[in-house]
Chains A and B, each alone.
Chain A
Amino acid sequence: MAVFKKKSKSKPAISTAALPDIIFMLLFFFMVSTELKEDTVIVRNELPKATQLQELAEQTLTAFIYIGPPTDARFGTDPKIQLNDVFSNVGDITRFIEEKRAEMPENLKDKLEVSLKIDKETKMGLITDVKLELRKAEARKIQYTGNKVSDLGE
């Protein structure tokens, strides 16, 4: 009968030498595939559903306009426009677009696109005013941001 003699060995420590490599891999993945957040949204932003969504240009070429009722009820429940982290009026849009243009490189200035992130309960009256203002500011390429669904729920 074979007798297995238990080898007495001191437990080897689990090598963690590869751990940094794994973490670095994750890190690089996130660095490459994500973009820095630009704004903190202070309005409710439940986007409408749509089927025909298309991608827009890079974030650096896009100006974001958020519209919706403020998240903080102290500011009221009527939909407000948010530009650059603050509540704004329709009249501020022209200046906002100008500022955005000024940040952009010269050769891409006419590529400016405006992404409208509008809460779905917002009334069209306010949105029409915003669009009129965008036309005045010559920022005519717009996108109504939405959530992709394959088919509209009947």
Chain B
Amino acid sequence: MYQKKQRDGAEINAASMADIAFLLLFFFLVATTFPSDRGLTMILPPKQDEPPEKLINERNIFKILVNANGDLLVEEEPMDLRDVRKSVKTFVNNNGADPKSSDSPMDAVVSLKADRGTTYESYVQVLDQVKAAYHELRADDLDWTVDEYLEFNKDNASEEVKGRYKQVLDKYPLRISEADPNKGNDKE
């Protein structure tokens, strides 16, 4: 008869476990990045072979021109970048008061035209200010701060908030017409 050997349970040496875990950890450290992409979102106009015939009333177009030096021409007048946001806001929220500004936020269009030689940085700065104006208007309407507006995520919002968000988007639709810098017209 074999006698069962009486031995206390042999310990499995777990010392190398840490090494294995370290290896995996380093792999993930090297091969991955934190998803930190944030940007200015835009919807481009649809592809079209012919310019649309729909005419927009002159008063509803807020024209911004950026030249190769980064200088701005807003509504035919030179303007400092810092004043863009305020003038876009007054223009959009005019509601027919000033005959030179928009009829209503729904009709307002911002035409942003950049020279082919303009740097991307100055273009983004102007676009940023225009978006800031709209975001402030929308945030005001929602009683949110601009930061709250920017952080808004459709996926984890309640139906009610989503409805209000959609409403405010319809109230202040951001319509930026990006004219083609090649041609000298604002047909797009």
What is A's interface to B at a CB cutoff of 8 Å?
A: 16-17, 19-20, 23-24, 26-27, 30-31, 33-37, 48-56, 59, 62, 115-116, 118-125, 127-128, 131-132, 134-136, 138, 140-146, 148, 152, 154
Instruction: Give the interface size class of chain B.
Output: 35 or more
Is B34 within 8 A of A127, CB to CB? no
Is B33 within 8 A of A34, CB to CB? yes
- Chain-A contact segment, one of B50-58, B99-107, B114-122: B114-122
Residues of A within 8 A of B25 (CB): 23, 26-27, 30
CA distance A144 to B38 in the complex (A): 8
- Which residue in B35, B43, B116 is a CB contact (below 8 Å) of A123? B116
CA distance A145 to B17 in the complex (A): 41
CA distance A80 to B47 in the complex (A): 24
Is B119 within 8 A of A143, CB to CB? no
Minimum CB–CB distance from B8 to chain A (whole Å) comes to 17
Given contacts A124-B120, A131-B178, whether A143 and B21 have CB atoms under 8 Å apart is no
Given contacts A132-B180, A144-B39, whether A27 and B24 have CB atoms under 8 Å apart is yes
Is B121 within 8 A of A120, CB to CB? yes
- Which residue in A24, A34, A123 is a CB contact (below 8 Å) of B120? A123
Given contacts A23-B22, A120-B121, whether A53 and B46 have CB atoms under 8 Å apart is no
Nearest residue (CB) in A for B41 is: A143
- Interface presence of B18 (CB below 8 A): yes
Residues of B within 8 A of A134 (CB): 44
Additional 18 contacts, C-beta under 8 A, given A56-B37, A122-B120, A152-B81: A17-B14, A20-B17, A23-B22, A30-B28, A35-B34, A52-B131, A53-B38, A54-B38, A55-B37, A56-B38, A124-B115, A128-B116, A134-B44, A135-B46, A141-B41, A143-B39, A144-B42, A144-B124
Is B37 within 8 A of A145, CB to CB? yes
CA distance A142 to B22 in the complex (A): 39
Is A48 within 8 A of B120, CB to CB? yes
